[in-house]
Structure 1
Amino acid sequence: MQLVHAFDAYCGWSHGFSPTLREVVSRHPDLPVEVISGGLFTGSRRVPIREFGHVQDANAQIAALTSARFGEGYDRLIADGSFVMDSEAATYRKVAEDAGLDADAVVAAFESPEADDAAADDFRRCADLGVTGYPTLLAVDGGSVTALARGRATADEVDRRLAALS
């Protein structure tokens, strides 16, 4: 069995689920984890953030329920409203710089045709697994797929669902 974590880089709920995922992984170091990008903001959903009028309210709810924090830079993007969330073009330059990596090399890798193919593969994998929202945590055992969390869950809730599979 393996865990499959479907997320989107621009999904606030995915951000809020991160501590739960870390805890689940630490409790189950024997379970491999596959992380796949869902492509929440692709096609017709690739629009300026102001068109998602619920973002500020959703972020407040996410923070209240998960203790996730959203930074000042993100708040400025929402207030401005012109930023276009694009799951196929998320930039990781700042993350790479903060991690001490060669940011130019990371950006070049993400802009390569291979990266586009990998993203499309992830989007297809999510669809094949029946993922309809983010984040989703699945237990995959051969052809059997069981949802352990959709949107949010505690590590204890995930553990109970995992135990029920045994």
Structure 2
Amino acid sequence: MPSAERASLTYAFDAYCAWCYGFGPTLRSFAEANAHRIRLGVLSAGLYTGARTLPIAAYPHLSAERDTVTRLTGVTFGTGYDRAVSRGTTVLDSAAAAAGLAALRDQPGISELDAAEAMQREWFVDGRSLSDAEVYRDIAGELGLDADAVTAAYSAPSGRVKARADFRALRRLRVLSYPTLLLDTPQGADRMGDAGSTAASLTSALDQRLTTFLPLATPLPQALTHNLPSQGDPS
């Protein structure tokens, strides 16, 4: 399928969402298997925003959630994450993380999925705060990006503007839980998968939908924009 005819998908995720981290290997397998016929964009959700922007100690359920995600998805959490949870001082701020994703996403040639995965490794493996500009400098180096451009974009006020735009976009799309994978169609966004999906089930869902919908060549506009509910997929 020529590039111009690739189906456009939108992945709704939050960098601090353990269920999104657990869904990562499934989404990666699906994306690689279907790389010839899809284009994948990533929008940030607002799991920890406003009054929920608190130190991790305010969320004691996260330790149990970690075990459940590992049991159901097979992903492993790093010792850095375990230390961060034990200390309890890291402030979970999804707006800062969304600004970081926006800074990475805006760089030429970037894979948005690569950027999202790199951010989640920084938190769920190494336990580094996604409010730290140095995290994005290191991710830029890992992904072969201009580190100065990334950190400047993260620190600029426009980064938070783009973060809020992502939140509003998912709200308008009525995304009520995450991770969620959407197929962008002329009739609107069609929910295709979530944390319970497998790579095979996602491919099957794509096959079915491509016989029904004419895929869009470009992602849904990021100017559509939200303030998502405060829960990821339940454990």
Match of 1:133 among 159, 172, 177: 177
> Mean alpha-carbon deviation: is it higher for 121-130 or for 148-157?
148-157
Which stretches in structure 2 are left out of the alignment for 5+ residues? 1-6, 97-129, 212-235
Tell me the equivalent position of 1:26. 32
Contact 2:22 2:195 in 1 (8 A): no
TM-score by length of 2: 0.65
Which stretches in structure 1 are left out of the alignment for 5+ residues? none
Tell me the SS of whatever aligns to 2:178. Answer: coil
- Among the aligned pairs, what percent are the same residue? 39
Tell me the equivalent position of 1:161. 205
2:58 maps to 1:14: no
For 1:112-161, what per-residue CA distance to the aligned partner results, in whole angstroms no more than 9, with x for missing partners?
12211211111111111111122111111123322122233111121222
TM-score by length of 1: 0.90
2:33 maps to 1:44: no
Whole-Å separation in 2 of the counterparts to 1:104 and 1:79: 32
* 1:11 shift after superposition: 0.8
* 1:10 shift after superposition: 0.8
For 1:52-109, what per-residue CA distance to the aligned partner results, in whole angstroms no more than 9, with x for missing partners?
1111111111112222121111111101112111012233244334446554542221
> Mean alpha-carbon deviation: is it higher for 50-59 or for 86-95?
86-95
* 1:33 shift after superposition: 1.0
Q: How many equivalent residue pairs?
A: 166
* Aligned Cα root-mean-square deviation (Å): 1.8
Whole-Å separation in 2 of the counterparts to 1:104 and 1:63: 35
Relative contact order higher in (CA < 8 Å, ≥ 6 apart): 1
Contact 1:16 1:66 in 2 (8 A): yes
Tell me the SS of whatever aligns to 1:147. Answer: strand
